[in-house]
Amino acid sequence: MTTIGLSEKVSELMKIIGREAAVFEDFLKLLGRQQEMLVKKDIDGLNNNTARQREKIVESQLLNKKREELIAEIKTTNAIEEDLNVSRLVELVDEDQGNRLLRLREVINGLNSQIVEVRNQNAMLLNRSREYISRTLGLLSKINNPNTNYTQNGAPANNSAAVALDRKI
């Protein structure tokens, strides 16, 4: 592959990475909406949002596969034995392409960090919701079982009864 051929392949690679960044941005927006819907307890909205998140994940996986195939092609054509990452590519291309690759890497890394942060916040919201549900069910189980609060030894009694709810969500 000539330098011109490498340049074209790297340009194609940058387009794929740019599309991946756009997918990550969309996914991040969906995570933000998910957070709003969790707070509002909008089940229908959550279901729709989850379906859209799955679509973005599939799209990301397809782009990832294309990127890996293109990197493998560049490695084979240029007889590169070691891993081919952005740092290595920057050494092989002109300064303009190198700078654009570095910016794309920064964007992708930043988006990835934001996605992890928002996902963790959403997981915390879900866990809190589960805790509240568990406490509420525990309180409800004690309503119909108001037996003694302490055993004969003076230790707190473990009075709990099974609670069954019949509610469609």
* Model pLDDT, residue 154: 63
For the chain, how many structural domains are there in total? 1
CATH of the domain at 40: 1.20.58
Is 0.95 topped by the overall pTM? no
Q: How many CB atoms lie within 10 A of CB 126?
A: 12
Across 25-29, 85-89, 121-125, 137-141, the highest mean pLDDT is recorded for 25-29
Distance, in Å, from the CA atom of 98 to the CA atom of 90, rounded to the nearest integer, reads 4
Local confidence band at 148 (pLDDT 50, 70, 90 cut-offs): low
Residue 154 maps to a domain? no
* Model pLDDT, residue 128: 84
* Model pLDDT, residue 155: 66
Residue 128 maps to a domain? yes
Boundaries of domain holding 54: 3-143
Residue type, 71: I
Averaged pLDDT, 127-155: 72
* Model pLDDT, residue 134: 82
Distance, in Å, from the CA atom of 69 to the CA atom of 74, rounded to the nearest integer, reads 9
Residue 50 maps to a domain? yes
* Model pLDDT, residue 1: 43
Residue 152 maps to a domain? no
Distance, in Å, from the CA atom of 169 to the CA atom of 165, rounded to the nearest integer, reads 11
88 neighbors 6 (Cβ within 8 angstroms): no
* Model pLDDT, residue 23: 96
